[in-house]
Structure 1
Amino acid sequence: MDPGSSSGSGSTSGAGAGTGSGDAASPAQGSAHGSSSQLNTQGAAISTREDSQETSDILLPNQEENIAQIAVDIGGSLAKVVWFTKSPETVGGRLNFCKFETVRIDDCIEFIASLLRDNPLAGRVIKDKIRTRLGVQIQKEDEMECLINGLNFLVRQIDYEVFTYDERRPETMQFDNQRTSELFPYLLVNIGSGVSIIKVTSDETYERISGTSLGGGTLWGLLSLLTDAKDYDEMLEISKMGDNKNVDMLVGDIYGGDYPKIGLKGTTIASSFGKVFKTPAAERKSKFKQEDIAVSLLYLVSNNIGQIAYLNAQAHGIRRIYFSGFFIRGHPITMNTLSYAISFWSKGKIKALFLRHEGYLGAMGAFLRTTPARARLASFTENFSQTQKISGSSIGAVGTLEEDASDYCVFPLLRDPETYSADTSDLSDPVLQSYWIDLLDVNLEHLVNIALKWQQGDARGGISVRERAKTFENMYREHLKVLRKEPNAYGALTVRGLLNLREQCLREMGFMDVFRGVKQDENNAAMQGLEILLAKLDAMPISDRLDAMLENMLAGNMYDWGSTAVQEMLKRGELDFRTAKAKVGRPAKFNHFPQLKAKLLGGHVYKKAVIFVDNSGADIIFGILPFARFLLSTGTTVVLAANTHPAVNDITATELREILVQAGSKDAAIASHVSSGRLVVVGTGSGSPCLDLTRASRDLATHAADADLVVIEGMGRAIHTNYAAKFVVDAVKVAVFKNPQVAAELGADMYDGMCLFAPA
């Protein structure tokens, strides 16, 4: 077997770009505009960027961004560009992705030039045409090292980056979401023009153990001769319409059916293109269709790569095989063929693993090679407000990667983080998918009205609130249309993901905190009653006081603008604290409060409690603060963990610190505890109505390390997510069921209160 070659000429990095190994260039400074297109307020199309130069038709507000770094991976078939931007309004930055056919390298250079326009660079680095056009020099990075660094980064940082594919299953994409120590060892099978097989045993150690010259370039070259397709994507498209049995000789053609004695099905390919040589030369052009030739050749190359990959995995005792490179492009037939080959030869013991950012590993690794160590350790999340497909043939899409100021880590009190899943409801059922997509679709009008009511006059970049609100509505609705058709387009479909996507679209249109006015009004109103409430609680016997505090927590949790059912009551003015108490049921199934109460009345004193808080107004002021104050009175230190960034009417850490100042002016005990440092507020790092405990801020993890009590409050945090979460310390989950689907799923009725207590 010819050992073959890898996928091109290397990865480039630096302020301008690069293609090999050398020193990093200084980062680019200045500003570049993200899009030259105009705002479309009638319809917000979601950019799939199937063509490398296609941009979204939405001009987003506040698009002036600093180009901080550009990395380029120039392969034999395609050039991939990753560029990092910083906006004055964001704490972190954003990683963006684009691709070009290498034969059109001039287009790629022009694109880089457009990014660098008005961005004077010092000490730039690039090569030949790039040096001539941009006046820069190249910094070359090692290709294999870049591929590995890119893969390790994406697998560890990005949710639902890794998946398996099997067209026989209803959910063809099965996501592997464990960013853990199980990463090594693995094989990386990088399929570009040729194929390289790399054995990776740690972040620093790897070796190229095999390869083949039969890769993407082989397929592209032969199909260029055998079909009329003009580019690779067109070749993949026509293969979808083909039937390989018209070209290939199958086991059934030889034996009349299956050959069970040696484990071969009749549909197994016995000889690729085996029917061609039997056909007279004069009839071949008319008999064999281009689409059949395309799919047959795709099977030939993919099966060959799959078998070589498995044999190398077997020889080295490795069970994880990642496939990457623009040969794959998220193309269903390609992935299914590779998956079938690995499953067949391993007898189902090994699965082929794919990555959503498969073609960008080299460019991603080049970016990381010249990125300061602090930035490499930063945390990134994927923003799907604007997406692109790897190609027109692909399933799934990728968004931009947003850097967060928080350094995320696993919440230290979580038990079994390896098996932890944040999400409660399994939305693989099409009925549930439709339910949640419909629910959020209907709720869009309400969000737009909130924005128009509370943010009038807040024009961004010359775009009015009304225009931005309409564009947000259209943008999110277009995403929902995509997800109706392809539920796993952005990873596994979850309630959490749908809510996070909505928040991303709001922020993309300049609505950083759409409920800011609502929260201020609710906080001011509740603060007026805090003094009286605390006096009443202090006058009660301790047993009655504990009962009253739980009632207040549940009643306060009714004030949730994220719940469609509660929204209607709030808009009609039908909900006050008294009616909220009356609405909440207390079924025994969800009431473990007596166990917690008995422990507290028995004299148990917790050393430190971490309380994950939820909504503004009555929820935080009437519900959480009195309970925290009680724990503090027993000698417990209390950490209030609040969202770092806004989401619906959830209280943020910044707002909560101000609330504590106001509460301290009304209550000496609260003021004393804040002053002594025994009552502190910490940002979770999140900007979501839900809670993923594998992505806690480092600050929160530090404060929580020695805690012996965890309290999670709110439907999004304790029901939609973390309902089944287990901890190594005592844990309390408090919430009200405000959605009929999840209530029915868990055996509750609407507005049932929940207080689950699980001892360590």
Structure 2
Amino acid sequence: MCESNCFTLLRDPGSYRPDTIDLNTDKDAASYWFPCFRDLIAKFATQAAESQCQTDGTAIERAENFRKSYLKKLDEYQRKIENNATNNVVLGIRELLELNETQLRLFGFPDPWHQQKQLENTAAIAALKKRFEELDDIDDNALRWTELVRGVLAGNMFDWGAQAVTSILQQDSNFGLHAALDRIEKRPWLIDNLDAWLARMCGNVHKCALIFVDNSGVDVVLGILPFVRALLQRGTKVLLCANTEPSLNDVTSRELANLLDNCCTHCSVLEQAWQDQRLLVYANGQRGPCLDMRTLPTELCEAIQKHETDLLVIEGMGRALHTNLYAKFNCETLKLAVIKNKWLAEHLGGDTFAVICKYEGAS
């Protein structure tokens, strides 16, 4: 891990804190999120059991042990808060989500969403060429970039870690990108810097964009890749960063590289950039769905410097909202997310499916 190179992007490394909310000090947040995670873990345990029950007779028992072990850890966190024994350490959503992955692996579930991710990737790839054609039919630059941003936001709806979306996906097997686009709230958004982003895209070409992606399937294939393609067409090199380890239905760097091999057959722009290494994939060093800029791999940190990265794009609730919402960077930054949690949306002044489109220029 790089303890110094990764900070080239951070405006003030000394004050960087990759947690938007501290459960140790925010009583309202703690009173919501602890019960919320108790419900989530029950669902995650069910998913874990189902992912292996056809091939391993111990799956159900191990999933129940995972659930009990996680809840025991959760109780320990709460007791520390109640006893004022937190020692001024921040407890964010990030740590509770990473604990989920740690406990899943402890009980033999390295990737409970593996099959679901494969199914969604296959379906999304089949629709990719048509999505490119839809975007290419938009002649106006501002309208096209608006639709590209909306596409990233709509893709971000496909998150099996968010109960509000899980309910939709379970009830409607035909829910796809266009249905998600219809769910995106009308502007002005909760945080709406889209106009500033559109104005910037009429200016000079960025040298290199660093993009931290989120979910498999519709999200990365139909949301992120069209956005990447548009940057490549402008002459910008793109570094795509995905999870090092599996987490929920988030795409991993290995899966993303395989996805690009398949997606390139549908697009000459992606294919040429992939061959010329103007489109590169890196692991982000994370084991959960959040993003701690202090733990980026050295290889990625060196690439950020080598390619003179001047645009940072952070997508999704875990990376752009639970972590890094208030982080300041030296380069231009675009943070995109749909808030799929009602409490968090209201906490920030919005409602379920409120949009974060936060663009900040270089310092």
TM-score (norm 1): 0.45
Task: Give the aligned partner of residue 20 of structure 2.
Answer: 424
**Aligned pairs for 1:101-116 within 5 A:** none
Quick one: which of 568, 574, 578 aligns to 2:167?
568
User: Does residue 500 of the first structure (1) align with residue 98 of the second (2)?
Assistant: yes
Task: Give the aligned partner of residue 474 of structure 1.
Answer: 68
Contact 2:94 2:322 in 1 (8 A): yes
AA at the equivalent of 2:354: D
Q: Deviations over 1:92-117 (max 9, x none)?
A: xxxxxxxxxxxxxxxxxxxxxxxxxx
**Equivalents in 2 of 1:425, 1:670: separation in Å?**
38
Task: Give the aligned partner of residue 380 of structure 1.
Answer: none
User: Does residue 532 of the first structure (1) align with residue 143 of the second (2)?
Assistant: no
Task: Give the aligned partner of residue 389 of structure 1.
Answer: none
Quick one: which of 552, 556, 561 aligns to 2:151?
552
Contact 2:290 2:319 in 1 (8 A): yes
Contact 1:605 1:635 in 2 (8 A): yes
User: Does residue 733 of the first structure (1) align with residue 335 of the second (2)?
Assistant: yes
More helix by share: 2
**Aligned pairs for 1:407-418 within 5 A:** 409=4, 410-418=6-14
User: Does residue 600 of the first structure (1) align with residue 201 of the second (2)?
Assistant: yes
More strand by share: 1
Q: Deviations over 1:590-640 (max 9, x none)?
A: 1211111112123x1000000010111111011110111111111100000
- Following TM superposition, by how much is the alpha carbon of 1:443 offset from its aligned partner in structure 2, in angstroms? 1.4
**Equivalents in 1 of 2:36, 2:189: separation in Å?**
30
User: Does residue 690 of the first structure (1) align with residue 290 of the second (2)?
Assistant: yes
Contact 1:736 1:754 in 2 (8 A): yes
Contact 2:190 2:354 in 1 (8 A): no
**Equivalents in 2 of 1:732, 1:429: separation in Å?**
27
- Following TM superposition, by how much is the alpha carbon of 1:696 offset from its aligned partner in structure 2, in angstroms? 1.0
Task: Give the aligned partner of residue 48 of structure 2.
Answer: 451
- Following TM superposition, by how much is the alpha carbon of 1:408 offset from its aligned partner in structure 2, in angstroms? 5.6
Task: Give the aligned partner of residue 344 of structure 2.
Answer: 742
**Equivalents in 2 of 1:505, 1:430: separation in Å?**
26
Q: Deviations over 1:3-28 (max 9, x none)?
A: xxxxxxxxxxxxxxxxxxxxxxxxxx
- Following TM superposition, by how much is the alpha carbon of 1:699 offset from its aligned partner in structure 2, in angstroms? 1.2
**Equivalents in 1 of 2:142, 2:100: separation in Å?**
42
- Following TM superposition, by how much is the alpha carbon of 1:457 offset from its aligned partner in structure 2, in angstroms? 4.2
AA at the equivalent of 1:743: A
Contact 1:730 1:759 in 2 (8 A): yes
Contact 1:718 1:735 in 2 (8 A): yes
Helix, strand or coil: the match of 2:359?
A: strand
AA at the equivalent of 2:122: N
AA at the equivalent of 1:717: R
Helix, strand or coil: the match of 2:324?
A: coil
**Equivalents in 2 of 1:665, 1:715: separation in Å?**
30
Helix, strand or coil: the match of 1:422?
A: coil
- Structure 2, unaligned runs of 5 or more: none
**Equivalents in 2 of 1:504, 1:583: separation in Å?**
34
**Equivalents in 2 of 1:596, 1:588: separation in Å?**
14
Task: Give the aligned partner of residue 262 of structure 2.
Answer: 662
- Following TM superposition, by how much is the alpha carbon of 1:588 offset from its aligned partner in structure 2, in angstroms? 4.2
Contact 1:587 1:753 in 2 (8 A): no
Contact 1:643 1:687 in 2 (8 A): yes
Contact 2:153 2:223 in 1 (8 A): yes
AA at the equivalent of 2:75: K
Helix, strand or coil: the match of 2:273?
A: helix
Tell me the percent identity: 37
**Equivalents in 2 of 1:411, 1:556: separation in Å?**
29
Contact 2:176 2:218 in 1 (8 A): no
User: Does residue 636 of the first structure (1) align with residue 202 of the second (2)?
Assistant: no
Contact 1:644 1:686 in 2 (8 A): yes
Contact 1:408 1:697 in 2 (8 A): no
Quick one: which of 220, 236, 248 aligns to 1:648?
248
**Equivalents in 1 of 2:115, 2:91: separation in Å?**
31
- Following TM superposition, by how much is the alpha carbon of 1:415 offset from its aligned partner in structure 2, in angstroms? 1.0
- Following TM superposition, by how much is the alpha carbon of 1:411 offset from its aligned partner in structure 2, in angstroms? 4.0
**Equivalents in 2 of 1:435, 1:589: separation in Å?**
21
AA at the equivalent of 1:730: E
Helix, strand or coil: the match of 1:601?
A: coil
**Equivalents in 2 of 1:745, 1:431: separation in Å?**
10
TM-score (norm 2): 0.92
Aligned structure 1 segments of 4 or more residues deviating by more than 6 angstroms: none
Quick one: which of 306, 315, 321 aligns to 1:713?
315
**Aligned pairs for 1:267-282 within 5 A:** none
What is the total number of aligned residue pairs between the two structures? Answer: 351
Contact 1:549 1:623 in 2 (8 A): yes
- Following TM superposition, by how much is the alpha carbon of 1:407 offset from its aligned partner in structure 2, in angstroms? 5.3
**Equivalents in 2 of 1:570, 1:408: separation in Å?**
40
**Equivalents in 2 of 1:408, 1:567: separation in Å?**
37
User: Does residue 486 of the first structure (1) align with residue 85 of the second (2)?
Assistant: no
**Aligned pairs for 1:133-282 within 5 A:** none
AA at the equivalent of 2:130: I
Task: Give the aligned partner of residue 344 of structure 1.
Answer: none
User: Does residue 752 of the first structure (1) align with residue 360 of the second (2)?
Assistant: no
**Equivalents in 1 of 2:8, 2:286: separation in Å?**
16
**Equivalents in 2 of 1:455, 1:407: separation in Å?**
36
AA at the equivalent of 1:665: T
Helix, strand or coil: the match of 2:314?
A: strand
Contact 1:587 1:752 in 2 (8 A): no
**Equivalents in 1 of 2:265, 2:243: separation in Å?**
24
**Equivalents in 1 of 2:284, 2:101: separation in Å?**
17
Contact 1:734 1:756 in 2 (8 A): yes
Helix, strand or coil: the match of 2:353?
A: coil
**Equivalents in 2 of 1:484, 1:702: separation in Å?**
39
Contact 2:2 2:294 in 1 (8 A): no
Q: Deviations over 1:276-295 (max 9, x none)?
A: xxxxxxxxxxxxxxxxxxxx
Note closer, same or farther for the CA distance 1:647–1:474 as it changes in structure 2 (3 Å cut): same
Contact 2:116 2:249 in 1 (8 A): yes
**Equivalents in 1 of 2:347, 2:212: separation in Å?**
24
Contact 2:189 2:354 in 1 (8 A): no
**Aligned pairs for 1:120-131 within 5 A:** none
- Across the aligned residues of Structure 1 and Structure 2, the Cα RMSD in angstroms comes to 1.7
- Following TM superposition, by how much is the alpha carbon of 1:589 offset from its aligned partner in structure 2, in angstroms? 4.5
- Following TM superposition, by how much is the alpha carbon of 1:562 offset from its aligned partner in structure 2, in angstroms? 1.3
- Following TM superposition, by how much is the alpha carbon of 1:489 offset from its aligned partner in structure 2, in angstroms? 5.9
**Aligned pairs for 1:266-415 within 5 A:** 406=1, 409=4, 410-415=6-11
**Equivalents in 1 of 2:116, 2:327: separation in Å?**
31
Task: Give the aligned partner of residue 381 of structure 1.
Answer: none
- Structure 1, unaligned runs of 5 or more: 1-405
